[in-house]
Structures are given as C-alpha cells and as structure tokens.
C-alpha cells in the first residue's frame, strides 16, 4: 500500500550547511553551463520553424497562443501575465469558449509540472529546513489550503509558486487541482464579463 505521508529527518546544523553549500555550488555550475550554451541554444531555436510558429501565435494573441501563454506563464519560474494576454486576445476577436478552454488547459498542465517538480525536489529542499517548520507549515496548509489555493488562482497572484510549494509537502493533488480549476475558471469568466460590459 502506497503511503501518502513521509517523515522529515532532522539534520544537524553542520550537515545543513554542507548540504546548502553543495546545493549552491551545483546551481552555480548549472547556471554557468546554461550561459555557455545559451548562444548555441538561442541560434538553434531562432532557426527552428516550430519555435517561430509558437512565438508568432503568442505575439499575435491567437487562441492557440493562449495555450502556450497559459503553459509557460503557469510555470513557477516564468512569471508571464496570462490574464493580460487573455484580455488583449478578446480584443482580437478570439472565440471566448476556445480562449478559456485553451488557456486553462495550458495553465493546468503547467500546474501539474509545478507540483511534480515540487514533489521531486522536496527531498533536496526539506533537509535544510527544520522539522518544526515543516510540520507547522503542513498544519497551516491543511487548515487553510483550499481557500488559499482558490484565492491565489482567482486573483493575479503567484499561484504557480503555491502549487510548487504544495508539491514539496505532498498536498492532496485532487483538492489542489479542483480549487485551481475553480478559481481560474471564475477569473477568466469575470475577465470576459468585464470585456463585454466595457465594450
């Protein structure tokens, strides 16, 4: 039977510092490699027709571009104002049904990626946090989590960061996606009504 919980082992202060040091060194090496290969990657992408197609659909605010905007903007490390793209796309005459469907499909897919990354990186991040802090955070999340998820997705707040953090503590994925879906759907319907009433 699969367990829905795990225990956080308390590390000594010295072990936490060693772990943090090696984590920082690893991040610096990855960033350095990224900078070294950035020019090569950039040239490859800009000469790629698939990249150009995705880029132009986002810039032209098409309904399909909203899927990409929802996905890339929904990743916790890429803050993109999806609501603004959605609203501007309505001025372009995009179909409201397809616009909401595609931006939410991209956004929910990104939330799955955020949750997955959080759950996998939890084993790396949690050892440097005190056990008391972890369990206190879990109690708060279990008490107010559903309302917080709903509010963060209803308003233009950093909800992807919340999803990543909830992945770290293995929050109930069904509850997470239900309130993420509900908050996002209400938000985009409200944006459409605002657009319709101010035309």
Q: Please, what's the largest Cα pairwise distance for the chain?
A: 62
Helix, strand and coil in the chain, % to nearest 5: 80, 0, 20
Q: Tokens representing 115?
A: 């949750």
More confident residue, 154 or 23: 154
- Each residue of 172-186: pLDDT tens digit? 888 889 999 999 999
More confident call, 53 vs 192: 192
For residue 107 the two structure tokens come to 């956004």
Of 2-6, 45-49, 118-122, 155-159, the range with the lowest mean pLDDT is: 2-6
Q: CA-CA distances (angstroms) from residue 77 to 19, 160, 190?
A: 23, 8, 26
Contact assessment for residue 134 and residue 8, using Cβ atoms and an 8 Å cutoff: yes
Mean pLDDT confidence for 96-124: 86
pLDDT in tens, 124-151: 766 666 566 666 666 767 777 788 889 8
Q: How many residues does the chain have?
A: 199
CB 57 within 8 A of CB 64: yes
DSSP 8-state code for residue 3: -
3-state secondary structure of 195: helix
Q: Which of 36, 13, 32 is nearest to 24 (CA)?
A: 32
Tens of pLDDT, residue by residue over 64-106, are: 788 888 888 888 888 788 888 888 888 888 888 888 888 889 8
| Residue 9 pLDDT grade (very low, low, confident, very high; cuts 50, 70, 90) | low
More confident residue, 3 or 32: 32
pLDDT greater than 90 at residue 187: yes
Tokens 């992807």 correspond to 160
**52 with 91: CB under 8 angstroms?**
no
- 148 vs 56, residue with greater confidence: 148
Picking from 167, 144, 133, the residue whose alpha carbon sits closest to that of residue 8 is: 133
Question: How many Cα neighbours within 13 Å face the side chain of 145?
Answer: 22
Instruction: Indicate the Cα dihedral angle 44, 46, 48, 49, nearest 10°.
Output: 180
The confidence band for 152, taking pLDDT boundaries of 50, 70 and 90, is confident
Q: Domain extents for the chain?
A: 13-47, 48-197
Could you read off the pLDDT of 16-35 as tens digits, one per residue? Answer: 677 777 767 777 777 766 66
């Amino acid at each position: 039977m699969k367990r829905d919980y795990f225990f956080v082992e308390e590390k000594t202060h010295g072990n936490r510092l060693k772990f943090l040091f090696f984590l920082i060194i690893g991040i610096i090496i990855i960033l350095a490699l990224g900078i070294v290969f950035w020019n090569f990657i950039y040239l490859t992408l800009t000469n790629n027709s698939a990249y150009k197609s995705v880029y132009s659909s986002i810039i032209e605010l098409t309904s399909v571009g909203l899927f990409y905007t929802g996905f890339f903007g929904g990743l916790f490390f890429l803050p993109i104002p999806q609501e603004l793209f959605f609203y501007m796309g309505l001025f372009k005459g995009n179909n409201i049904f397809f616009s909401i469907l595609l931006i939410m499909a991209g956004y929910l897919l990104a939330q799955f990626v955020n949750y997955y990354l959080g759950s996998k990186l939890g084993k790396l991040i949690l050892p440097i946090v005190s056990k008391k802090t972890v369990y206190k955070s879990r109690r708060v999340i279990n008490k107010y989590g559903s309302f917080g998820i709903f509010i963060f997705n209803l308003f233009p707040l950093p909800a992807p960061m919340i999803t990543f953090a909830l992945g770290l503590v293995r929050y109930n994925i069904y509850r997470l996606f239900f309130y993420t879906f509900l908050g996002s759907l209400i938000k985009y319907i409200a944006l459409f009504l605002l657009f319709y009433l101010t035309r």
